[in-house]
Structure 1
Amino acid sequence: MTARTQFLDREVGQALSALSAAAKKGLGDPALAELVMIRASQLNHCAFCLDMHLTLARRNGESEQRLGLLAAWEEAGDLYDGRERAALALTEAVTVLTEGFVPDAVYERAAVHFADGELAHLVGVITVINSWNRLMVGRRVPPGGYTP
């Protein structure tokens, strides 16, 4: 598979980068933001974004065990705390919209662990990584091109 023509406008890239930074800053938990971005990228099959966010998570001290089991977080016991599990459930619900709207129970579960502002930023992180995933997959950008 070869990369397609560069069709990402510079302004669009800058706007998404700014949105990403604002959403992550408002969430206030960089490790959680990386887990969310990795999980969405797994669901969207975005190799470039997976490579990038796995690299960032490792650089920030995330364990290989947690990264390796992220795709099976629901079965991973206490490896992820309640806040992380709520964020991951919301990530999956917002990312996989083909199954319908985000269930109230999933949103309410997240609302237990996140204040209103944090929840808004969490949804922002999920939204922006889904946008990046679609841009990178649409362009067929291969993994390995990200350097921190």
Structure 2
Amino acid sequence: MSVEDALREAKIRELPLSPPVCVAMGTQVGEVLELMKRRRAHCVLICEGEHLRGIFTERDVVNKILGLPVDLRAPIESFMTPSPVTLHPEDRVWEAMRLMDEGGYRHIPLVVEDGRVAGVISVQDIINFLAEHFPTEVFNLPPRSRQVFEAPEGA
């Protein structure tokens, strides 16, 4: 099976995803930053009950907080991306890659039919999937994107 076929066939639920880090609406941004640091999380989902209301990512930290006079007691809603693009765990990995590419996302929340949070898929999850299922292809990639090897290297 080719890499492309595997990505088109694999469902997101088949990937070993980490449990999402969720906080309630109204949580202070300082608390969210501390939680991200403590849990080594690249994103946090903002929920009302079990329903997704927004996402706050490391990119939001860089673009909306670092170097700015921010009140760390402000609610996370002031900094989150509301109503983010979502996927369902039954969607294909290929669809996640397409959305990430088109939207410039590194994390996409997963929700089920009734709107409850089911997880998050990240670029790193997809890279791990590829490295696990296609180690030869991944580890033999040239170090620079435009570099092409004429012959295999090594023993």
Per the normalisation by structure 1, the TM-score is: 0.24
- The structure whose RCO (Cα within 8 Å, separation 6+) is larger is 1
Bigger radius of gyration: 2
Per the normalisation by structure 2, the TM-score is: 0.23
- Greater helix fraction, Structure 1 or Structure 2: 1
- Greater strand fraction, Structure 1 or Structure 2: 2
